[in-house]
Each structure stands twice: as structure tokens, then as C-alpha cells.
Amino acid sequence: AGRNLYVKKETGSTNDDAKMAGLNGEAHGTLIVADEQTKGRGRNGRYWHTPKEKNVAMSLLLHPESDPAKAPMLTLVMGLALAQGIEKVCGQKVSIKWPNDIVLDKHKLCGILTEMYLHDGKCDVVIGVGINVNQEEFAPEIADMAGSLFTQTGKEYDRNEVIAQVMNAFEIDYDLFIENENLKLLKNDYEERLINKDKPVKVLDPNGEYQGTALGITDTGELIVEKEDGSRVVINSGEVSVRGL
């Protein structure tokens, strides 16, 4: 992945650029990087702030041969690659908050927004990644949850180095994903970093809330939670939110 690279000074959203690239027939593995986004998009319709030349905003275009229904797993593959790439750059172990927030010392460093498009009978997957690298300040209302590599380690980092390390990790992880078209071969690396593993969590789902212990993930990326009565539930991202206690 990442063989074709487009770098932009400013754009609306690299996810939109990658979608266009897909419509224009760009190859599997095309990566679009921007120094600044004016309409960066987060999950659930939220805005994603990308200040000029501070952070990484990039989107990877894939034409997976696997079933489009498996695309959500690619978000977890990218989450793991982000953790591994960032660890290489900053020399510290980072955690993954299921499904795919990357956390260093309780502050979220990265976000992933995966989008899928069907056109001409093919499925394009766009994995958008925002990494807070050298951003110095966060709005007061998010400052205790959000951070950057700079705010968490006190050092500045080369953004290109961050991109290279993350994409190198993704390339390896993607091949391991393709082998079984699931996360079986990545599960250990993922669970090693899972923030609530073997710890109490509160699960909020549309049917109410309950407490349990997060045990790990399934081969397809669902979180396994053991309830207080000993029964196990397997939860999907999307409908639920999981919090540490």
C-alpha cells in the first residue's frame, strides 16, 4: 500500500479526494496526504480539526479483493498499524481503545474514518487517518481527552517519518489480514495494546447498559465482554460505546 502518493498543501477532506481518486481509476494503495484540511470529517458527522502543517491527515484508497462486508475489519487493521508505527517513532507503547482510538496516557492521538463506495460493481474502501503529531494546544473542552505526540511526549516529530512508519506497518498487517480475510493473525498484537483488556468496562448499547470485563476481540474484530453473571457477549462497534470504570 502507499505506492502512489499525492501530497496536497490544502484540501477540504482527504477522504473526499481519495473517493475521487477511486472514481478516476487510481490504483489500490493510493495514498493522499494533506498539510491542512478545511472540511476534515470525524466519525458521527463531527468536524475533525487539521491545523496547518502540524498533524497528519491522510487517506488510503484500497480495492480489496475480500468481501466488502469485511471492510470494517480494515479499520482495526489500520488501528493496529497506527499503534505500531507511532511506537516506532516515539519509542513508547501506545494503547488501542476498541475499536480504533489510539491512546497515549489517556489522551486520544488519532482517529480513523473508513468509508466505502460501490461503483461499476467494485468496492472502493477509503481509510482516512488523522494523527495529532505536533499540535501544541487543544480546545479546553477536549484538552483532557485529546492530545498529540507533542503534548504527550514533549517532543516534535517529523510528520513524514510518522506516515512512513504507519504505512510500513499497515503493509505488513494488511497482508496478514488477507491471508485469512480476518484478524486471526493480528489478534495478539492488537490485544497486547487493548486498553481495557481484563479490566472492568461499562457497555452502553441501545438496549441499556451493563458492566463486565473486556476479554479481547474475536477473529472478526468484535469485543468480547464477560458479564458479571459469567455469560459472554460479543459486541459490534457502531451501536455501542465501551468505557473503562
Interacting positions 71-130 with ligand BTN (CB under 6 A) = 111-113, 128-130
Q: Kindly state the smallest distance separating residue 168's Cβ from ligand BTN, in Å.
A: 19
What end-to-end distance do the CA atoms of the chain give, in Å?
Answer: 38
Phi, psi of 170 (to 5 degrees): -65, -40
Please say whether the beta carbons of 221 and 72 come within 8 A. Answer: yes
Please say whether the beta carbons of 103 and 97 come within 8 A. Answer: yes
Identify the bridge partners of residue 146 per DSSP, sorted by sequence position.
Answer: 108
Q: Kindly state the smallest distance separating residue 180's Cβ from ligand BTN, in Å.
A: 27
Q: Does 41 bind ligand BTN (CB under 6 A)?
A: yes
Cell of 154: 514533549
Q: Does 42 bind ligand BTN (CB under 6 A)?
A: yes
Q: Does 22 bind ligand BTN (CB under 6 A)?
A: no
Cell of 235: 459486541
Q: Kindly state the smallest distance separating residue 47's Cβ from ligand BTN, in Å.
A: 9
Q: Kindly state the smallest distance separating residue 50's Cβ from ligand BTN, in Å.
A: 6
Q: Kindly state the smallest distance separating residue 93's Cβ from ligand BTN, in Å.
A: 21
Cell of 132: 495529532
Total residues binding ligand BTN (CB under 6 A): 19
Q: Does 48 bind ligand BTN (CB under 6 A)?
A: yes
Q: Does 43 bind ligand BTN (CB under 6 A)?
A: yes
Distance in angstroms (rounded) separating the CA atoms of residues 164 and 76: 19
Task: Give the total residue count for the chain.
Answer: 245
Distance in angstroms (rounded) separating the CA atoms of residues 82 and 130: 10
For β-strands 223-227 and 30-37, DSSP reports them as unpaired
User: How many other C-beta atoms lie within 10 A of the C-beta of residue 51?
Assistant: 15
Q: Does 133 bind ligand BTN (CB under 6 A)?
A: no
Q: Does 11 bind ligand BTN (CB under 6 A)?
A: no
Q: Does 169 bind ligand BTN (CB under 6 A)?
A: no
Distance in angstroms (rounded) separating the CA atoms of residues 181 and 184: 9
Q: Does 64 bind ligand BTN (CB under 6 A)?
A: no
Scanning 19-27, 40-48, 91-99, 162-170 for contacts with ligand BTN by CB under 6 A, the matching segment is: 40-48
Among 14, 75, 95, 134, binds ligand BTN (CB under 6 A): 14
List, in sequence order, the alpha helices (H) in 157-229. Answer: 159-180, 187-193
Q: Does 30 bind ligand BTN (CB under 6 A)?
A: no
Q: Does 135 bind ligand BTN (CB under 6 A)?
A: no
Residues binding ligand BTN (CB under 6 A): 13-15, 37, 40-43, 46, 48, 57-59, 111-113, 128-130
